[in-house]
């Protein structure tokens, strides 16, 4: 097979690196210099450099060029990859629009059934407070946010053994705002960040918007995160920030063990890498104890822990927060240039609601209902799905993932079901590289009803038909 010119050049440069003629952190010739010395075109040189970068042999720095990466480590696990230029925003937009259709069975939604959220007591507090002009007072609720609410949130961290002051917390317009502000505060365009291979699409969108380079860390069948691959990739690339989920992962559902969390925290600490911890499902655990966040292991204020009330009280409230610590002021600067503050009336209402025992009582009952509903979905699907499909069941949260047979397309299944008024979330939303196993994510928070059962029947029939068709081809 003829070798591309870019492969030829990449091969020549690779041997200079492997023979240690070009030492670690040496600057490579600029693209123009390489064009002149090699006689290849600019496109060929660019392609060659990108190939070496994807193999972890070189890395780039914004406005400074390319440099030789450390070569003293084991070869980079092929499952850890530098993602191609990210262009996911328009497909996520199309997806989110498609599931807004009225009368759709919302198995694709990321929010729990609203019937389970919005406790009566909270609604009463909101309507009572809504009568008083004082409840809308902006000045006491602007960044960093309502002091009483920040004190309550800080207290909740302290209860988990994480020393926290109200000043460490910044209230935001939901969890996604907290995550986006944190990423913006910690990165410059062109920086390398780590995402999990399968991850909430909001992380991919943020990376696209901020012009960041993404390296993905693969999942591990038992541990959730492949720690060895993680260690290798942070040795190969000058990683600035990781954006990851450790508890009730969306979409896969896993919760990482304390042992693995500790190992990852140690690596972050050794390499001084920041972590943006997406923990919006932290309260929806299964069992007696709330899993610890990575913030618990953070000794150097490297972890920006982000969460919200969207999954427990209602996404419509748009109230979240970030444990910003020393970055509080930076986050507030960015907030005052963008989303400004979370809703004032809601912040006041949350103070009153959270000050009583109502929240804990609501959480206990919500966890039980979600567990019951997810089990019901699981057993029904298990009985009815074609054998080629596998259900991925994890404790906590309210998602199930149906792993599809080889060659099946999650997008095709999503489109077929949408035509029958059923929404599911296809894996292309979470896996930017489509080479991985395809799946669909199902929201199982809904109470069982004929309506839900019929939708699951359509889903299983569709999967059977598709699996049979694939077997025949
Ligand atoms: C993993 C994950 N992170 C963040 C968010 C955003 O949460 P919020 O509604 O609080 O902005 C979501 C919402 O679906 C999510 O699933």
In contact, 76 and 233? CB cutoff 8 Å: yes
Nearest CA to ligand 1 atom 8: 175
Query: Ligand 1: distance of its center to the CA of 170 in Å?
Result: 17
Give the pairing of strands 169-172 and 192-196: unpaired
For the Cβ of 174 lying below 6 angstroms from any atom of ligand 1, the answer is yes
Kindly report the number of other CB atoms within 10 A of residue 250's CB atom: 22
Distance 339 CA to ligand 1 centre (A): 16
Q: Which CATH number fits domain 89-115+360-472: 3.40.50.2000, 3.60.70.12, 3.60.110.10, 3.90.1150.10?
A: 3.90.1150.10
Q: What is the share, in percent, of the chain residues with pLDDT greater than 90?
A: 77
Query: Does any ligand 1 atom lie closer than 6 A to the CB of residue 320?
Result: yes
Cβ of 164 closer than 6 Å to ligand 1, yes or no, is no
Tell me the average pLDDT across 361-372.
97
pLDDT in tens, 155-191: 999 999 999 999 999 999 999 999 999 999 999 999 9
Query: Spelled out in words, what is the top-level CATH class assigned to the domain 5-72?
Result: mainly alpha
Q: Where in the chain is the domain with CATH 1.10.10.10?
A: 5-72
Give CA–CA dist 286/268, Å, rounded. 28
200 CB near ligand 1 (under 6 Å): yes
Instruction: Say what the pLDDT of residue 469 is.
Output: 72
- Report whether the peptide linkage leading into residue 251 is cis, meaning its omega lies within 30 degrees of zero: yes
- For the ranges 301-315, 392-406, 423-437, the lowest mean pLDDT is seen at 423-437
Q: Where in the chain is the domain with CATH 3.40.640.10?
A: 119-358
Q: How far is the CA of 462 from the centre of ligand 1 (A)?
A: 29
Residue count of the chain, please give it: 473
Pocket test for ligand 1, best of 117, 280, 283, 429 (most atoms within 8 A of CB): 280
Ligand 1, atom nearest to 249 Cα: 1
Better-scored residue on pLDDT, 129 or 437: 129
Please tell me if the CB atom of residue 110 comes closer than 6 angstroms to any atom of ligand 1: yes
Count Cβ atoms within 10 A of the Cβ of residue 61 and give its class: 0-12 exposed, 13-18 middle, 19 or more buried: middle
Percent of the chain scoring above 70 in pLDDT: 96
pLDDT at 73 over 70: no
Closest atom of ligand 1 relative to the 111 alpha carbon: 14
Listed as own residue / partner, the contacts of 48-54 with beta carbons closer than 8 Å and 24 or more positions apart are: 48/6, 48/7, 48/9, 48/10, 48/13, 51/6, 51/7, 51/10, 52/10, 52/13, 52/14, 52/17, 53/82, 54/81, 54/82
Which ranges in the chain are annotated with CATH 3.90.1150.10?
Answer: 89-115+360-472
Architecture of domain 119-358: 3-Layer(aba) Sandwich (3.40)
Nearest-angstrom CA–CA distance, 227 and 267: 9
**How far, CA to CA in Å, does 447 sit from each of 8, 301, 337, 366, 374?**
60, 41, 41, 12, 9
């Amino acid at each position: 097979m003829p070798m591309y010119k870019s492969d030829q050049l990449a091969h020549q440069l690779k041997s200079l690196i492997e023979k240690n003629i070009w030492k670690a952190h040496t600057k490579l010739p600029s693209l123009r210099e390489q064009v002149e010395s090699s006689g290849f075109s600019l496109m060929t040189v660019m392609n060659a450099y990108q190939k070496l970068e994807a193999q972890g042999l070189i890395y780039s720095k914004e406005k400074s060029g390319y440099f030789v990466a450390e070569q003293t480590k084991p070869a980079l696990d092929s499952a850890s990859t530098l993602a191609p230029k990210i262009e996911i925003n328009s497909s996520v937009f199309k997806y989110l629009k498609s599931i807004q259709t009225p009368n759709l069975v919302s198995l694709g939604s990321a929010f729990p059934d609203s019937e389970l959220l919005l406790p009566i007591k909270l609604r009463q507090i909101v309507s009572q407070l809504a009568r008083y002009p004082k409840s809308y007072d902006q000045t006491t609720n602007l960044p960093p946010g309502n002091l009483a609410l920040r004190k309550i949130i800080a207290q909740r961290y302290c209860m988990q053994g994480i020393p926290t002051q109200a000043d460490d917390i910044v209230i935001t317009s939901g969890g996604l705002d907290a995550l986006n502000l944190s990423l913006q505060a910690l990165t410059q365009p062109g920086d390398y960040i780590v995402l999990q291979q399968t991850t909430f699409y909001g992380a991919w969108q943020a990376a696209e918007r901020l012009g960041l380079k993404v390296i993905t860390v693969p999942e591990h069948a038992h541990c959730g995160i492949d720690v060895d691959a993680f260690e290798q990739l942070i040795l190969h690339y000058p990683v600035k920030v990781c954006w990851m989920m450790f508890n009730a992962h969306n979409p896969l559902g896993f919760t990482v063990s304390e042992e693995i969390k500790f190992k990852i925290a140690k690596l972050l600490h050794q390499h001084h890498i920041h972590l943006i911890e997406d923990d919006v499902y932290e309260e929806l655990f299964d069992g007696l104890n709330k899993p610890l966040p990575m913030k618990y292991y953070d000794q150097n204020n490297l972890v920006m822990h982000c969460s919200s009330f969207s999954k427990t009280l209602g996404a419509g409230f748009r109230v979240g927060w970030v444990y910003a610590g020393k970055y509080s002021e930076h986050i507030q600067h960015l907030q005052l240039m963008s989303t400004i503050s979370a809703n004032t009336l809601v912040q006041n209402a949350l103070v009153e609601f959270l000050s009583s025992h109502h929240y804990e009582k609501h959480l206990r009952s919500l966890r039980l209902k979600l567990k019951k509903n997810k089990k019901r979905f699981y057993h029904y699907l298990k009985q009815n799905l074609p054998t080629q499909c596998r259900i991925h069941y994890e404790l906590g949260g309210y998602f199930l993932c149906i792993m599809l047979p080889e060659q099946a397309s999650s997008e095709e299944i999503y489109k077929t079901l949408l035509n029958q008024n059923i929404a599911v979330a296809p894996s292309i939303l979470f896996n930017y590289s489509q080479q991985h196993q395809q799946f669909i994510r199902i929201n199982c928070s809904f109470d069982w009803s004929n309506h839900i059962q019929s939708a699951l029947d359509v889903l299983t029939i569709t999967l059977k038909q598709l699996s049979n068709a694939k077997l025949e081809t």
